[in-house]
Amino acid sequence: MKIKKAIYHSIIAECSNNPIESGGIIGGKNNIVTEFIFDKGTDSSSIQHYFPDTEKLNAHIKHWQDNGIQFLGIVHSHLQDGVELSFGDTRYIETIMQAMPAYIDFLYFPVVSQQKELVSFKAVRNEYGVNIIDDDIEIIDERRTES
């Protein structure tokens, strides 16, 4: 995942300074993450699951589409020390990918750990369904997104 430095730091700050299992959506242009909308979710009492405010986030995605910004994925924070995907995370990612239009070949699903570490996972469609893989993060210079 290629991501603007400011957005990378914003994701870590927002997810680390709010209740665990919060998150948001990421978007951008040319498959570079240039946008992040934070979301506390709809169930602030849950420390086990992130329940996105889909009405709010879908409105942002629509606004992005109207302005030429790609929806690139969903971020959330974990209570655990590690940043492995849970069974629930994997099922949720598969459900999201199945709901996406066919032209969307992949989405990113970064996770923020308690140690303020961001780890990216990439869900890729294939002929058998969805493959979720570990994904490197490349923090890019702000000027690279200007073109």
> How many independent structural domains does the chain possess?
1
Question: What pLDDT sits at residue 84?
Answer: 85
Q: What is the mean pLDDT of residues 123-145?
A: 88
- E strand or H helix at 57: helix 54-66
Q: Residue 7 class from Cβ within 10 Å (0-12 exposed, 13-18 middle, 19+ buried)?
A: buried
pLDDT at 19 over 80: no
CATH number, position 45: 3.40.140.10
Question: What pLDDT sits at residue 145?
Answer: 45
Q: Where does the pLDDT of residue 115 fall: very low under 50, low under 70, confident under 90, or very high at 90 and above?
A: confident
Nearest 5°: CA angle at 80, between 8 and 132?
65
pLDDT one-digit tens code per residue, 57-106: 999 999 999 999 999 999 998 876 667 898 989 999 999 999 999 999 99
Q: Residue 47 class from Cβ within 10 Å (0-12 exposed, 13-18 middle, 19+ buried)?
A: exposed
Q: How far apart are the first and last CA of the chain?
A: 18
Question: What pLDDT sits at residue 3?
Answer: 97
Pair 109, 122: CB distance under 8 Å: yes
Question: Residue 55: CB partners within 8 Å, gap ≥ 6?
Answer: none
Question: What pLDDT sits at residue 114?
Answer: 81
Question: What pLDDT sits at residue 147?
Answer: 45
- Domain boundaries, position 69: 2-145
**Beta bridge pairs of residue 126:** 129
